[in-house]
């Protein structure tokens, strides 16, 4: 008789790590969180593979399909799973770190996106998370510790926290009202035209004090 592998316990603070980062474990760990930090694979839209947005596969999590399944084959749980099966705390903040597409970027080796495509990628990647109760979704391909430090120690508004990044550029900034999540504002901070490395979408007047409360 084949014995199914036993689910290992969650790490301290609801942390989940590969090769045991299955959807069931991640879903359990994030419920009710006021800060969700995801470092992993990103699969967004628009992309070179699909002509239309596929909510089951894009703009969510790229996880292990099974326990100890390794990192070669990634199983994607898109925005449909995020918005229908995750409920975060009121005023929650999400940080996406080093995910392709999340900041508007392409995958390494792929052509640089147009500004229109980059804006769509940012808006799409945040939509599912903003339907979980989150008030803002930060995305960065670089250092994210300044976000965490400011959330826990400052009274700044989320927009000011975004612009407090040590690697901010500012000169090529882009701001637009979210199409996917009406009422929310999107801000992008390219390093140079076409080089998209930081973004945030949400209720950017929310303060860190209100988040902690």
| Three-state secondary structure call for residue 80 | helix
Give the model's pLDDT for residue 6.
58
Give the model's pLDDT for residue 2.
44
| Three-state secondary structure call for residue 188 | strand
- As a dihedral over the C-alpha atoms of residue 101, residue 137, residue 174, residue 50, rounded to 10 degrees, the angle is 30
Phi-psi region of 70 (alpha: psi -120 to 50; beta: other; left: phi over 0): left
- Taking only the tens of pLDDT, the chain with its 213 residues reads 444 455 565 555 689 999 999 999 999 999 999 999 999 999 999 999 999 999 999 999 999 999 887 777 899 999 999 999 999 999 999 999 999 999 999 999 999 999 999 999 999 999 999 999 999 999 999 999 999 999 999 999 999 999 999 999 999 999 999 999 999 999 999 999 999 999 999 999 999 999 999
CB 133 within 8 A of CB 92: yes
CA distances from 50 to 170, 185, 210 (A): 32, 26, 40
The model carries a pTM of 0.94
CA dist 180 and 178 (Å) reads 6
CA dist 198 and 208 (Å) reads 19
* Main-chain phi, psi angles of 200, to 5 degrees: -150, 145
């Amino acid at each position: 008789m084949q014995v199914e592998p036993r689910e290992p316990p969650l790490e301290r603070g609801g942390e989940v790590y590969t090769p045991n980062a299955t959807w069931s474990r991640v879903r359990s760990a994030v419920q009710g969180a006021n800060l969700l930090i995801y470092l992993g694979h990103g699969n967004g839209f628009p992309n070179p593979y699909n002509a239309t947005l596929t909510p089951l596969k894009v703009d969510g999590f790229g996880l292990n399909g099974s326990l100890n399944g390794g990192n070669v084959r990634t199983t994607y749980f898109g925005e449909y799973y995020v918005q229908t099966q995750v409920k975060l705390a009121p005023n929650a903040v999400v940080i996406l770190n080093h995910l392709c597409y999340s900041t508007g970027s392409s995958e390494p080796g792929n052509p640089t996106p147009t500004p229109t495509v980059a804006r769509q990628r940012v808006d799409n990647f945040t939509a599912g998370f903003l339907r979980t109760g989150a008030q803002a979704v930060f995305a960065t391909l670089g250092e994210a510790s300044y976000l965490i430090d400011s959330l826990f120690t400052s009274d700044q508004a989320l927009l000011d926290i975004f612009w407090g990044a040590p690697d901010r550029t500012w000169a090529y900034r882009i701001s637009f009202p979210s199409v996917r999540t009406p009422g929310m504002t999107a801000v992008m901070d390219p390093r140079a035209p076409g080089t998209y490395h930081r973004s945030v979408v949400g209720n950017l007047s929310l303060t860190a004090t209100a988040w902690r409360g």
